[in-house]
Each structure stands twice: as C-alpha cells, then as structure tokens.
Amino acid sequence: MTTTDEELSQLERDIRALKIEYEQYFGGGRTRPPSDTEWRIEQIIKRYADRTAEISFGQRFRYNNLAQTYAKYREIFRKRMKQKEEGTVQRHFGAAAKAIEAERARRHRAKAGARSEPAALFTVAFSDPDRESEKVEQLYAAFREAKQNAGENTAQLKPEHFLEFVRKKTQQLKKQKSCEQVEYVVAMEGGQVRLKARVKQ
C-alpha cells in the first residue's frame, strides 16, 4: 500500500512533469496538452483535500504547498492555452527570472559606483510563527520555489526544520532587539537565493 509520503512525492514529481510537458506543448514539441498527468494530479489533490486533519503537520504543510503550486501553474497554463487558441503569444517571466535580471542591473550600477541592494522576491513579517502557520507556509513555498527556479538544490529543505528555524530566529531577534515583529525576506544576492531576517520597523 502506498504511504502518504510516497503519494506526496509522486504528486511533486507529477507537478514538475506537468510543467515540463506543458512547456513542450506550448513550444510545439507535443501535439496535445498533458491531460493524463493533470488527471493524476487532480486525483491526489482531491483525495487529500478532505483528509488534511488525518495527516501530520509536515505532510499537511507539504500538501498545501504542492496544491498551491499546482493551482498557480494551472492558472498560468489556462491563460497560455487561451493565448494559443486566440493566436497571441505573451512571454512569461517568473519572479526568479525577474530578480536575476534585476541583480545583473544592480551589479552593473555597483560597478559604476552606485549602491547595490539584494533583489527581494518575497517579504513577510511574524509576531508569533506558531500562530501564523499560513504565513510560514507562504514563506517556505516562496523560498523553495525561488531556489528551484534559480537551479539550486532543495533536497535538504524540509518544512518541519524550516518552521523550527523561523520560530527560533523570531524569538531570538524579538528578545535581542525588543521588537514586536520580525520580517523575513527571500532575496537574490550574488546570484544566489538568500533568506534574511530583520527587525520590523
């Protein structure tokens, strides 16, 4: 019998495959959209939609991130399908691609003597991460996706460890700086994705 973790791993692989297969379809390498892969994804997502209370925090965290990623891709694919049917083409640049271009522009300005700042991809502030699980999930998803888009390895990036890091870092900075909130920024710096924590002013 397939375990929950195995099914979630299969869901993650299918979502990656779906993105590649759609790109091939839009690029002319496939004659039909990947309906079979999309059907498999829908089946797993529907199966766990009503079972989130029965699975562990880490599994629920992972499922929610995958479901959000799929929903985002599905909306992009829907728009591109419409453009394909209407005969219009629009280039799509993801957040990481935009940030990489911004980083290059900043480096160019830095060489000319201007100050260079990291290119922010996502920003969120916490008072108590344990009570703001949705924000933690959004930050984790943004950080993981940015690293994947930049071609960085995310194999060691686990939701439980990420939550623990955010919890401890937030408590540490709130105590050291006597502040109410800590802000986290996912940024491109030196061509790599970074997660930065700073006091919320």
Tens digit of pLDDT for each residue in 45-80?
998 988 888 888 888 888 988 999 999 988 988 888
Summarised one tens digit per residue, pLDDT across range 98-113 is: 555 566 666 665 555 5
Q: Is pTM, for the whole model, over 0.85?
A: no
Place of tokens 């996912």: 186
DSSP H or E stretch at residue 119: strand 119-126
> What pLDDT score does 99 carry?
58
What band does 91 get if pLDDT is binned at 50, 70 and 90?
very low
CA neighbours within 13 Å on the CB side: how many for 43?
9
Report in angstroms the alpha-carbon separations of 25 from 21, 30, 47, 79.
6, 4, 28, 14
Place of tokens 């880490």: 58
Place of tokens 């008072």: 127
Cα 90 to Cα 81: distance, rounded to the nearest angstrom = 11
Domain boundaries, the chain: 4-86, 95-199
What band does 23 get if pLDDT is binned at 50, 70 and 90?
confident
> What pLDDT score does 38 carry?
93
